[in-house]
């Protein structure tokens, strides 16, 4: 007797949202490592790049890679909107069962994605943060970051070490986008959604090439905007 194929569960799908700004040097390696890391999951994979009006040749590079990698999709902003708005664009344009968000500079190790996927399914959570277990910033940046994260924890109980390296299910994506705030701050809105959250400790890698384009003034401006988002 032939098995009834109508009862075979459809393959799950995963979109990885990747905001891009001055990340040309890391894109090719990022694509290769993500595809290799996710291959054992037997899951429909999409790499959704959000080019936030990057001034380098990132868009052209991704467009060329797309012809050889069927996993790639790209959205291009006509002007720079910032990392959080790039993330919001990615979430709005995703349709997968699960959506991961990570940096495109290889500081977030692609090999962590399968671990996040196992965690979210085993824990039956709506989101899993990859929390940083090792310091990677300068003393000044760490102090600024710790003060900001402390304030956010008082407001929405953000897990210590949590940032924008996270995996969400479709319910969490809907909940986050449902806030429709003028500003957007993904980690805070995940916590504000009051759904089930888990964490996974990971070591963040050093940036392989280049340095962050964020100045102290930009970081302060972003921190204030993120706090305002949670007050809306």
Domains in the chain (CATH in brackets) are 11-231 (3.90.550.10)
Mean pLDDT over 46-72 rounds to 97
114: its two tokens: 């399968």
- pLDDT score recorded for residue 14: 98
pTM: 0.88
60: its two tokens: 């052209």
Higher local confidence (pLDDT), 207 or 95: 95
Model pLDDT for residues 152-197, shown as the tens digit of each residue: 778 888 898 899 999 999 999 999 999 988 999 999 999 999 999 9
Separation of alpha carbons 193 and 184, rounded Å = 13
Mean pLDDT over 7-31 rounds to 92
| pLDDT tier for residue 28 given thresholds of 50, 70 and 90 | very high
Separation of alpha carbons 218 and 27, rounded Å = 24
* pLDDT-above-70 percentage for the chain: 85
- pLDDT score recorded for residue 156: 86
Residue 42, Ramachandran bin (φ over 0: left; ψ between -120 and 50: alpha; else beta): left
Residue 207, classified by CB atoms within 10 Å of its CB into exposed (0-12), middle (13-18) or buried (19+), is middle
């Amino acid at each position: 007797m032939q098995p009834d194929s109508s009862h075979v569960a459809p393959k799950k799908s995963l979109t990885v949202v990747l905001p891009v700004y001055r990340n040309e040097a890391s894109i090719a390696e990022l694509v290769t490592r993500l595809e290799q890391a996710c291959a054992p999951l037997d899951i429909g994979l999409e790499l959704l790049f959000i080019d936030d009006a990057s001034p380098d040749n990132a868009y052209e590079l991704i467009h060329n890679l797309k012809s050889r990698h069927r996993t790639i999709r790209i959205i291009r902003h006509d002007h720079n909107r910032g990392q959080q708005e790039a993330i919001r664009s990615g979430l709005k344009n995703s349709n997968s069962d699960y959506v991961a968000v990570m940096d495109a500079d290889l500081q977030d190790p692609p090999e962590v994605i399968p671990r996040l996927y196992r965690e979210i399914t085993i824990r039956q959570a709506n989101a899993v943060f990859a929390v940083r277990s090792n310091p990677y910033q300068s003393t000044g940046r760490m102090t600024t970051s710790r003060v900001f994260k402390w304030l956010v924890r008082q407001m929405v109980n953000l897990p210590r070490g949590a940032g924008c390296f996270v995996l969400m299910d479709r319910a969490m994506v809907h909940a986050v986008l449902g806030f429709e705030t003028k500003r957007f701050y993904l980690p805070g809105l995940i916590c504000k959604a009051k759904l089930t959250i888990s964490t996974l400790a990971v070591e963040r890698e050093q940036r392989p090439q280049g340095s962050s384009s964020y100045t102290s003034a930009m970081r302060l401006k972003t921190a204030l905007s993120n706090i305002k988002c949670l007050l809306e």
